Every structure is written in C-alpha cells, then in structure tokens.
C-alpha cells in the first residue's frame, strides 16, 4: 500500500513539473510576440529611395549610351572603367585600381566586368599615365602596342583592336576610361569614328559626375 502511495505522489509531482514547464514556455512566447507587436514598422527612408531611383535612371542612361555606341561603330565590346582608391596595403600606400563598372558585349564575347573586372594601377602604370595625361590609346593591331603588360592583357582578352579615351570631371580630373574592343576582327577607326568616341566620353562624364 505504501509503495502505491509513493508512485501516485511521484506521478502527481511529474505532472505538476510538466505543467509548470509548459506554462513557462507559453508565457515566454506570449511575451516575445507582444514585444514584436510593439516594434513600430519602419518605412524605407524617402531620401534613400529618391537617391536609388536617381541612380538607376543614371545607370540606364549610361548603359543606353554605350550600347548605342557599340552598335554605331560595330564594336564587340564597349565599357567604362572607373578609378578607385578604397583600400590600403600594409605599407600604408593606397591600393589604387581601375574597375569595370559598365559594359555591353556582343553575343559570344566574354564579359570584362565578370573576369575579373578590376586591375591594379601599378601593374599598368604606363597605360594609366597616358590616360590621366589626357591622351587616348588607340591600336588597330594589338601587336603594335609597346606597353608589354597592357599588350599581354589585351591578347589574353582576345582583343585585336582597342580604342580607349579618358573620362574627365568638370575640374579636368580623369575619373575613368571609356573604351571599345574589337575581338572578332581588326578594325581601323579614323576621322569621324574617333570623334564619335571622344564625344561619347564627354557625354558619359556628364552622367558619371552628375
């Protein structure tokens, strides 16, 4: 008889413990739901939304411009590289680079912005110096390029002819590079075609520094 009483008491104690545990869980969940319901809904900042809309509109204008240029002069690749200085080496010197930020390519042509999309200025210093000095870089035949590292880069990309122009801001500082590549064949651009590219670089500058 005594053993049965002990068993009943143990069963009652277990039930009470289980009930207490379940009640605790319920109260905690209820409190959490109440806190969540009290958190006010935060709408996206109106100013951020305006800036995003402005940015996407600008991007559309730039992309339309380079796509139109590519079709107009029958290029295989048309692109913009922008200069940046966002990180530093352990020496403390800035890690300057130029990055492909806009691009249009013909079917079957590799995408520059994907592979790899950015380059160290120090590796292509002769090329970059000419650009920031306001000079254009034009080679109807890649083999004629006298800058070894830049020539090897063009060959690696399969470029047969290249035409690059500096993009300047209102203060005359070079902020990027506008260029076209011919991959399927060599192409000599002269006269009006070079003027088209030069004028497009000026137009694109207006979009980039707006």
Sequence ranges of the domains in the chain = 1-42, 46-208
Neighbours of 180 (CB within 10 A): 27
Q: Which CATH fold would you assign to the domain 46-208?
A: Beta-Lactamase (3.30.450)
Q: Which residues are within 8 A (CB) of 135 and not within 5 positions of it... i.e. 6 or more apart?
A: 166
- This prediction's pTM: 0.73
Burial class (CB in 10 A: 0-12, 13-18, 19+), 53: exposed
* pLDDT at residue 43, rounded to an integer: 60
- pLDDT tens per residue across span 67-103: 999 999 999 999 999 998 766 566 666 668 899 999 9
Please confirm whether the linkage preceding 116 is cis (ω < 30° from 0).
Answer: yes
* C-beta of residue 166 within 8 angstroms of C-beta of residue 204: no
* C-beta of residue 141 within 8 angstroms of C-beta of residue 163: no
pLDDT at residue 117 greater than cutoff 90: no
* pLDDT at residue 17, rounded to an integer: 61
């Amino acid at each position: 008889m005594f053993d049965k009483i002990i068993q009943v008491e143990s069963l009652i104690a277990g039930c009470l413990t289980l009930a207490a545990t379940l009640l605790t869980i319920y109260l905690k969940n209820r409190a959490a739901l109440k806190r969540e319901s009290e958190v006010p809904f935060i709408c996206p900042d109106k100013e951020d939304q305006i800036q995003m809309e402005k940015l996407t509109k600008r991007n559309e204008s730039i992309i339309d411009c380079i796509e139109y240029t590519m079709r107009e002069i029958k290029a295989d690749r048309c692109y913009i590289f922008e200069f940046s200085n966002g990180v530093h080496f352990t020496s403390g010197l800035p890690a300057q680079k130029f990055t492909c930020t806009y691009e249009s390519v013909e079917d079957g042509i590799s995408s520059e912005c994907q592979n790899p999309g950015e380059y160290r200025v120090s590796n292509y210093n002769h090329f970059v110096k000419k650009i920031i000095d306001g000079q254009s870089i034009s080679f109807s035949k890649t083999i004629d390029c006298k800058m070894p590292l830049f020539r090897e880069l063009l060959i690696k990309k399969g470029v047969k002819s290249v035409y690059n122009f500096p993009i300047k801001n209102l203060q005359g500082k070079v902020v990027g590079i506008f260029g076209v590549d011919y991959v399927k064949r060599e192409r000599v651009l002269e006269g009006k075609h070079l003027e088209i590219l030069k004028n497009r670089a000026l137009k694109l500058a207006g979009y980039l520094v707006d």
